[in-house]
Chains A and B, each alone.
Chain A
Amino acid sequence: MAESMCGPSNAVNTFQKHTSVDRTLQQDRLINRQSPSQGFRSSPGPNAGLLDPEFEAFQAGRPPLDSQVATPFTYTHTPSPFQAAGPSWVSDFQNLNIAGPAAQRQTHTPQPQQHEALKGWHQEFVRQQSGMNASHVQSPVQSGLQSSYTPMASGMHMGGQYMGGNMIGGFPGPQVASSIAVQKQPTTDMFDEEAFARAFEEAEQAELEIQAEPEALAEEGTVETETEVATETQQTIILDDSVLLAESAERLMEMESNNQTQPAIGADSILPQNQTERDTHNHDDLARTAGQLLTNVSNDTSDKFQQSKFLDLMRAFRDKEVLVDGDKIVAKPYADLENDAERAVGVAKGATENVVSA
């Protein structure tokens, strides 16, 4: 059905090209990564041991142990309370152990963890790949920052605010969950399913909050606001494949039809019932349906319709002369007739009693 995809290019076509790559296995690959040490970004960098005290200080909201190092590194591009530390914060930042000389210039990039290696992540990657992994791991303690190296993760933490609120799926989930919780823990399997589920719940929760109160989240905390601004500058990177998939499918559907707004008709309007409901309502429903059907064909006076056995059966259903019992159609059970008779007798008796008492 490529016909409809010919012709002038448009945004949806581009989206469809994105979606025509099967990425369904990507999540599996992440899950299969058992130990963080196998992932090239998950092991602590060469200066992990130096990072920890600084990070703790940052967490505690006070200047790092080394008084020379004043400012948390995250807030290089927007005003923040921490900047009150003084105009020399830039040099302070440069003195930070986490920042190699090369990374200091990249102040526009909000994720400091991307600079934690002396000469950038790609070099670190190359080093690790070339079998020097063990010598670089100085501490088994994993920095919480490292676990959120993907820009997506901080976005998820914001509850998908910038994503139109519809992004739930995708692999960054566990990273979100771990970005806070795992900060001080020894390395564990952070891609476990619980983390996934938790992240999904968090994302959903956040989405709901956003829908209810869009501005509330912005006030939640300075840290998160900073992160949000930061992530906005990187939206092109942020657009994860799963977001693309979901969005393109959504647009395709919206474009194709107004199907969603159309009320259910015919068989779709018949909801599945459980057995007890079916038993109790079946006779009445059948009688009503049969009655409607007969009304619909009541104008037809042709011989065929007058003599139709099916329509005869429908009349019998309508008048409840026959009933569906299990998988058979049966004449109205005798028990009912007897009950009717008893009731008639009772009524008659009552009437006579009334007459007598009167």
Chain B
Amino acid sequence: MLQFQTTGFNGYAVKYSPYIDSRIAVGAAQNFGLVGNGRVYVLELTSQGILCPKFYDTQDAVYDIAWSEANENQLLAACGDGTVKLFDVNVAHQPIAQWSEHSREVYSVFWNQVTKDNFVTSSWDGTLKLYNPERAQSLLTLPTHSCTYSTEFSPHSPSIISAVTSDSHIRIFDIRIPASAANHLVHLIPIHGPAPTLANINTRANPLGPRPPPSECLTHDWNKYRGTILATAGVDQIIRTFDLRAPRAGAVTLMSGHRYAVRRISWSPHNSDLLLSGSYDMSVKLWSDGNAMSDASMVTPNLGRELGEMGAHTEFVTGVDWCLFGSQGWVASTAWDQRLLVWDARTIIT
């Protein structure tokens, strides 16, 4: 297990470069993100350990980062003051571009992985914004009317944007459909389950007990192999997967085991069933949602399986990411204990 100390800054996000196997970035904030500055670390994995050739200070906390999919030297930072900053590794200290359109904290940023020419941000102000890095203004604003903790493009489509919000819903936007009163919204899926009706109250047996109340959803991720599957997690500690082919069917899989809210989840880029999660219970857990197993139950929702736990972090875990390169299974995690850990997820499988 490799380690890097982000002294003075509590980690909020970690991302492997999609281009360079030894490059990794960490977004962090002073004072646990309550007040103070932020910092973006650009780190190199070397035979001497993890080195920090570059870092960028920001006025406000950095809550999320995203590498450019189009330029191996550029990365984005989502900041607490509502700005999104684009940094270039070859340019010291200052961002090469900045967008100040959100009125409150920007909680997530995600680069389009298909067309690679735009990116999307989400904010506490209840909007998503779509940007082209070469344009000074955002291209599109999608309202969610709720604090939006996480947004992503589908890895299989350049025009499908997902977001999860404080109001316990998944929103799926398709920017190909014409703008109408629905603002490109095609699905609005209640994460805590559909409202009970006479028809489903008995048939929709939930193995984890009665229908949970709505709770804030903090993170989500698209499965990299099954284009209609995405996973969500948040304050109610349960990781759920949903199949967009049946948006009203409720969760396909429930993964329960974290003892506090789940802050970040990430599907494996190598296996269609593996999912990594970081939680406020200070642990990182590895899950299988069971779809690769032949005995997968036809009854939904079925329960995923916890494969292992990494407990080295000593504060809330806020960022996890998989390495795309090398031997499959290397991951990075960051936490409020001011440490970045790089480790092999295969070693924790029990």
Contacts and interface: CB of A to CB of B under 8 A. Distances in A.
B215 A19 contact: no
B166 A268 contact: yes
Interface stretch (A43-51, A305-313, A334-342): A305-313
A259 interface: yes
A216 B302 CA distance: 58
A22 interface: yes
A20 B216 CA distance: 32
B36 A265 contact: no
B167 A327 contact: no
Contact of B182 (A252, A272, A308, A313): A252
A265 B186 contact: no
Nearest to A246: B181
Given A22-B178, A328-B35, A268 B167 contact: yes
Given A19-B182, A21-B178, A266 B147 contact: yes
A305 B189 CA distance: 35
Contacts of B188: 253, 256-257, 259
A264 interface: yes
Nearest to A303: B314
Contacts of B37: 327
Contacts of B32: 310, 313
Interface in A260-314: 262, 264-268, 272, 297, 300, 304-305, 307-310, 313
B299 interface: no
A130 interface: no
Max count, chain A CB within 10 A of own CB: residue among B182, B216, B316, B336: B182
Contact of B315 (A19, A258, A310, A327): A310
Contact of B181 (A3, A248, A326): A248
A296 to B, nearest CB: 8
A252 B182 CA distance: 8
Interface in B178-215: 178-182, 185-190, 195, 214-215
Contacts of B180: 19-20, 22, 245, 248-249
A4 to B, nearest CB: 6
Contacts of A246: 181
Interface stretch (B11-19, B111-119, B130-138, B168-176): B168-176
Contacts of B167: 259, 262, 264-265, 268
B235 interface: yes
Contacts of B282: 304-305, 308
Interface string B214-227: 11100000000000
B160 A1 contact: yes
A329 interface: yes
A252 B129 CA distance: 23
A272 B102 CA distance: 14
Nearest to B149: A267
Nearest to A24: B179
A324 interface: yes
B94 interface: no
B257 interface: no
Nearest to B146: A268
Contacts of B181: 19, 245-246, 248-250
30 contacts: A1-B160, A1-B172, A1-B174, A3-B244, A4-B187, A4-B247, A22-B178, A249-B181, A249-B182, A252-B185, A253-B188, A256-B187, A256-B188, A257-B190, A258-B195, A262-B167, A264-B146, A265-B166, A265-B168, A265-B216, A266-B235, A267-B124, A267-B149, A268-B147, A304-B282, A307-B314, A308-B314, A313-B31, A313-B32, A329-B35
In the complex, the 6 A-B pairs of residues with the closest C-beta atoms, listed nearest first: A249-B181, A267-B147, A266-B216, A1-B186, A256-B188, A22-B178
